[in-house]
Amino acid sequence: MPNSSAVNIALAKKSKIVTGSEMQAFFAAKLRANGGQASDSILARFGGTQTVGGVRISTVTAMHSNGLDPDYIGGDMGKAMKDAGIAGYVGEATGYILRFSNGLVAYLSGDTGITSDMENVVRRHYNAKLTVLNIGDTFTTGPSEAAYVINDLVKPTTVIASHVNEVGTKAGKAVPGSKTDTFMKAVKGAQVVLPLSGKTMEFDANGKCVAGC
């Protein structure tokens, strides 16, 4: 049956996949079917934490649909679902908190709208200093909503704009008038850094970029 990019990457890199909800069992089956280890698919449900390679990984709330394309299910059931225009349910969407050995706490939003947990859990409990925030609009927060998340809820030291659904940069700089540009101009207080192909960024415990930005 069709495989996913996440599984292909995990097999190629001999890495783990950490997810919540029913995604853990789905990825475990795909790993096993393609010659990998089902145990490399690790479950971290809401409020729980898994440690992989010294990095502590916790899941937090994300508000987004989490449907699985019927092509991944296959067989008569997958065909019937596709004909009916419905997706397979694989549990609640999640964001992630990563706590590194140097003390850095990073928040990966995933696709999500605005939630109160961004303030109550991500900032007040985990005290995230680095945020990777999806800002593409339609399927997640748009640039103005994302700026509110940074300015008023999470309040990190640094934010990386992600999943912008556009050509957001040219020659290493934000394209004027783009969602990326709009987001950067709306953020107050936090440093906005652009993820650029082939460049590795490094951050200290306070979320300050110390290399590659």
Confidence of residue 74 (pLDDT cuts 50, 70, 90): confident
CATH architecture for segment(s) 100-213:
4-Layer Sandwich (3.60)
pLDDT of 138 strictly over 90: no
d(CA 199, CA 32): 33
Contact 174, 180 (CB under 8 A): yes
Contact 202, 169 (CB under 8 A): no
Q: Return the number of other C-beta atoms located less than 10 Å from residue 161's C-beta.
A: 28
d(CA 10, CA 26): 14
Per-residue pLDDT tens for 75-89?
Answer: 999 999 999 999 998
Give the ranges where the chain is alpha helix by DSSP (H).
5-13, 23-33, 75-84, 117, 143-148, 179-186
Residue percentage of the chain with pLDDT more than 90? 87
Overall pTM > 0.95: no
Give the ranges where 34-178 is alpha helix by DSSP (H).
75-84, 117, 143-148
Q: Return the number of other C-beta atoms located less than 10 Å from residue 49's C-beta.
A: 12
Angle formed by the axes of helices 23-33 and 5-13, to 10°?
60
Map out the domains of the chain as residue ranges. 1-45+66-92, 100-213
d(CA 1, CA 140): 29
Phi–psi pair at 133, nearest 5 degrees: -115, 125
pLDDT of 47 strictly over 90: no
Which H or E element spans position 43? strand 41-43
Phi–psi pair at 172, nearest 5 degrees: 80, 5
Six token digits for residue 15? 């890495």
pLDDT of 1 strictly over 70: no
